[in-house]
Chain A
């Protein structure tokens, strides 16, 4: 039986571009962050700052949220390499639609993010025990990471479509990654003492909404604000995916460096 084109594209994305070293680094980095940063900061940061939990318990949901960036980066890089090595053109000359290729990339990102969620939870388990996740909480975590992953994947693909230089693409991607992570609540909460401007920037960052929602899901305190967060993430994901799809239709298949 022949698999649907989109499934074949996803399998190809995983098989062709994800070497073991890349996978280890992509998942190893946040895992090491949980272990090292969690252990070190737990002893010096008061639990009153992190809502009564240890710093590690605060950090683990943040690292789970971070997986949406990991997945997005994987797709962005996949797309860039496919363009660089003319595989986009080669795939388009076969029995595939552009929309299928784009959806394949985004779904690859989503799957990668969800695998990351599982790994982060496993790494965090010895430090924070089994989180108080209800069925709704699990759904909220998965939906949050899925939407965030679609957002970042689409954003990086849309950026990749506008650039013709690998240097430019990877510099922007690194800068964006750094900016998005450090200006979010992944590592620290927004408190009343946070400068107003910085707090505004934090709340303009989709990763903040993702981290807060996942943290609430872990703590079993999901509320209406999380529904709003999910709505914002969903809207951002839809808009960036729309932009990426629009740019995809107009994609110039010419050479890039």
Chain B
């Protein structure tokens, strides 16, 4: 991927809130033009710190980053003029929703007429018609969040940072917002999106960066993460005819050699049955082997199903792996090996 396709690049970016204590460390990641990058992680993983660093609300204590060609340490106003930022904390002015929208447009220097028509568009898009004349603090939590996202979309931008924008939203509102963001991304808007709703990240994000205890532990597409980190999954195979006991015993042996755990009672293993189910790490890789095994023995396979890999199972797998390794929050001198590989996978040139 050519470097000039990147609108955001970080190299070993870090922020230390006290000597030797890091909220985020060794973050190397890139964002392409029109790409949606998800930041996933547990509470305190460093997602919000990352957003605050990249939007210049915090100054990094180590490493470097450029956003739209501006250094985040010195880009200041010129850089922020191209960003949209929906922060995690609720922010509002003490006027009606409608006035909040136009006032925010004014603050950003959007011409009055453009601001008015944009406000109408946002009110409709984010279903705020009934809230139009109400003050934001009188809205429900979901309405307030919708209002906050709508307000940020009042001005033009090249990169949009969204820190948990869908908290408190119902499924329909969430889907509507995600669809809109996807459309904007198709139109060239680059988006950095943090969420705890993994299904949402799966729907929206082109790539996902997983942070854990302040460190980047994976960076890939949702499919890539699922394939690599979903752990053991269940496979069920139904043959066209019952397998003779000997063949069935052979299959069980071969599967066990490949690390699979048979899920049927032991007494059923030697009997003649037309099906078998097992659980295995990298189960999808066993499927071609299984087809070949059946084919060479002239056995027909009627149905083969594999448990769907979800981003949630991949996420749990990744966090589990890190915890098993005893990984802790970045301390002085630490530099986990998988971190850089994650960053490079992200396409830094």
Contact = CB atoms under 8 A, between A and B. Distances in A.
Given A86-B89, A95-B81, A97-B77, A15 B109 contact: no
A16 B103 contact: yes
A9 B107 contact: yes
Interface stretch (B62-70, B90-98, B165-173): B90-98
Interface string A83-120: 00111011111111100000000000000000000000
Interface string B172-195: 000000000000000000000000
A93 B109 contact: no
Contacts of A9: 107
Interface residues of A, number: 26
A86 B87 CA distance: 9
B107 A89 contact: no
A16 B77 contact: no
A2 B109 contact: yes
B92 A87 contact: yes
Nearest to B151: A90
Contact of B87 (A3, A89, A97): A89
A93 B87 CA distance: 9
A221 B82 CA distance: 56
Interface string B44-60: 00000000000111000
Could you say which of A12, A15, A85, A93 has the most chain B C-beta atoms within 10 Å of its C-beta? Answer: A93
Given A93-B80, A94-B80, A12 B93 contact: yes
Contact of B77 (A2, A15, A95): A95
Given A96-B77, A97-B77, A253 B57 contact: yes
A91 B85 CA distance: 10
B106 interface: yes
15 contacts: A12-B103, A12-B107, A16-B100, A17-B94, A85-B91, A86-B91, A87-B93, A89-B89, A92-B57, A93-B83, A94-B108, A95-B77, A95-B80, A95-B108, A96-B77
Interface of B: 55-57, 76-77, 80-81, 83, 85, 87, 89-95, 99-100, 103, 106-109
